[in-house]
Amino acid sequence: MNLKELSDFLKLSPTTVSRAINGYPEVSEATRKRVVEAAEANNYHPSHLASGLAKGKAMAIGHVIPLSKHMVMNPHFSDFISGAGDVYCKAGYDMLIRVVAEGEEESVYKKLAKDGRVDGVIVHGPSNYDARIEALQDIGIPFVVHGRTNQDESTYNWVDVNNVRAFKRATNYLLDLGHRDIAFINGFEFMNFAMRRRSGYEEALHEASIEINPEIMFTGEMTEPQGYESMKQLLKRAKPPTAILLSSILPSMGAMRAVQEAGLTVGKDVSIVTFDDQLSFLQNSGDIPMFTSVRSSIRDAGVRVAEILLDQINQPKADPYHELWEAELVLGKSTGRPVSV
């Protein structure tokens, strides 16, 4: 059943029926009631394609998600997406996802933005210099970046965590406890967030006049095995570091496993501080959380990013909008003074 049929059935014009259904003010209460009831009874739902075409709005937001070489989705996405998706849903928007091979992202973004299927897009996982930003600016479609790049950040919308500060604080906390050998297991450093985290770590060490030691710094895809393997390497050293900083709770689980396998105790023999995105399925909670961490919810980020994008769509001339969040430092069971001190 389409609009025409429904209006024939009601002996009304399509116009009136459309107005009634979309809640326009000029239609009388009596007819509105009749229309809505008939629509319900006949199980009529307006075609989104047709209304989108007519109004020039797609009522959808695009996400482009790159698969890594192993064809997997970064697990951090699922929490971000559940936050964003919830916002869209409440506002009547849909989430459109394109999963693409790494490298094709820019062209896919362009196509997505141009073919009129979405009213705005989210940029995930910005690299240090990210061509998507200029591409989207050229096209003129509203977008919000989750994170930042090294490009002029005043020209686009973004929400980011203060990664430099977070990792500086984390490092300082370990220094205060008396640690001097602090390893760092980071994400890939072409990702902007990872680069900033490294800066925070290095700044803190510099200020404490401790030399940076590349031998105890790792980068890679933030997975459980990454943490496990890296930690195993570290424990093999003649003088293993007494503390480790990690970029996500996933490798932290792996690191903990390696420590325990070696018969050592986390929080005593080895201190661990992690960045806790508060992944829903790996809660670092309890009376005293398992891990000491710098914490910021990635789901909340998804919510805010989505809200900001919808705002920008409704006020296209608004100035670029930014939010920089501070991470909490939460003490857990995984840190203590180094034994030898």
Please report whether residue 85 would count as binding a copy of itself according to CB under 8 A. yes
Among the listed ranges 9-17, 72-80, 170-178, 314-322, the one in contact with a copy of itself (CB under 8 A) is 72-80
- Looking only at residues 226 through 255 of this chain, which bind DNA when binding is defined by CB under 7 A? none
Sheet of 328-330, strand order: 217-219, 182-186, 243-246, 271-276, 292-295, 328-330
Among the listed ranges 38-46, 228-236, 245-253, 261-269, the one in contact with DNA (CB under 7 A) is 38-46
Question: How many residues of this chain interact with a copy of itself, rule: CB under 8 A?
Answer: 58
Smallest separation, CB 317 to DNA (Å): 19
Distance CA 193, CA 206 (A): 20
List 98's β-bridge partners, or say none. 64
| Cβ–Cβ under 8 Å, residues 159 and 304 | yes
Residue 36, token pair as written in the block: 């809505």
Residue 198, token pair as written in the block: 């490294």
Please report whether residue 111 would count as binding a copy of itself according to CB under 8 A. yes
Q: Which of 60, 106, 131 shows the shortest CA–CA distance to 309?
A: 60
Q: Based on CB atoms, which residue is closest to a copy of itself, 60 or 244?
A: 60
Helices and strands, counts by H and E, the chain: 12, 12
Smallest separation, CB 47 to DNA (Å): 3
Residue 73, classified by CB atoms within 10 Å of its CB into exposed (0-12), middle (13-18) or buried (19+), is middle
Please report whether residue 309 would count as binding a copy of itself according to CB under 8 A. no
User: Contacting DNA (CB under 7 A), which of 33, 55, 90, 206?
Assistant: 55
Which of the choices a copy of itself, DNA, none does residue 97 contact, using the CB cut-off of 5 to 8 A by kind?
A: a copy of itself
Angle ∠(125,151,155) on CA atoms, nearest 5: 95
Distance CA 337, CA 258 (A): 20
Q: Based on CB atoms, which residue is closest to DNA, 55 or 90?
A: 55
List 186's β-bridge partners, or say none. 219
- Looking only at residues 30 through 59 of this chain, which bind a copy of itself when binding is defined by CB under 8 A? 43, 45-50, 52-53, 58
Please report whether residue 14 would count as binding DNA according to CB under 7 A. yes
Contact partners, residue 314, CB within 8 Å, separation at least 6: none
Distance CA 78, CA 80 (A): 5
Please report whether residue 47 would count as binding DNA according to CB under 7 A. yes
Distance CA 65, CA 105 (A): 8
User: Contacting DNA (CB under 7 A), which of 3, 81, 118, 279?
Assistant: 3
Q: Which of 294, 271, 265 shows the shortest CA–CA distance to 341?
A: 271
Q: Based on CB atoms, which residue is closest to a copy of itself, 71 or 341?
A: 71
Residue whose entry in the numeric block shows the structure tokens 């030898």 = 340
Please report whether residue 65 would count as binding a copy of itself according to CB under 8 A. yes
Contact positions vs DNA (CB under 7 A): 2-4, 11-16, 18-19, 21-22, 25-31, 44-47, 50-51, 53-56, 116
Positions in the binding site for a copy of itself (CB under 8 A): 43, 45-50, 52-53, 58, 60, 65, 67, 70-75, 77-79, 81-83, 85-86, 88-89, 94-100, 111, 114-117, 223-225, 250, 253, 256-257, 260, 279-283, 285-286, 290, 299
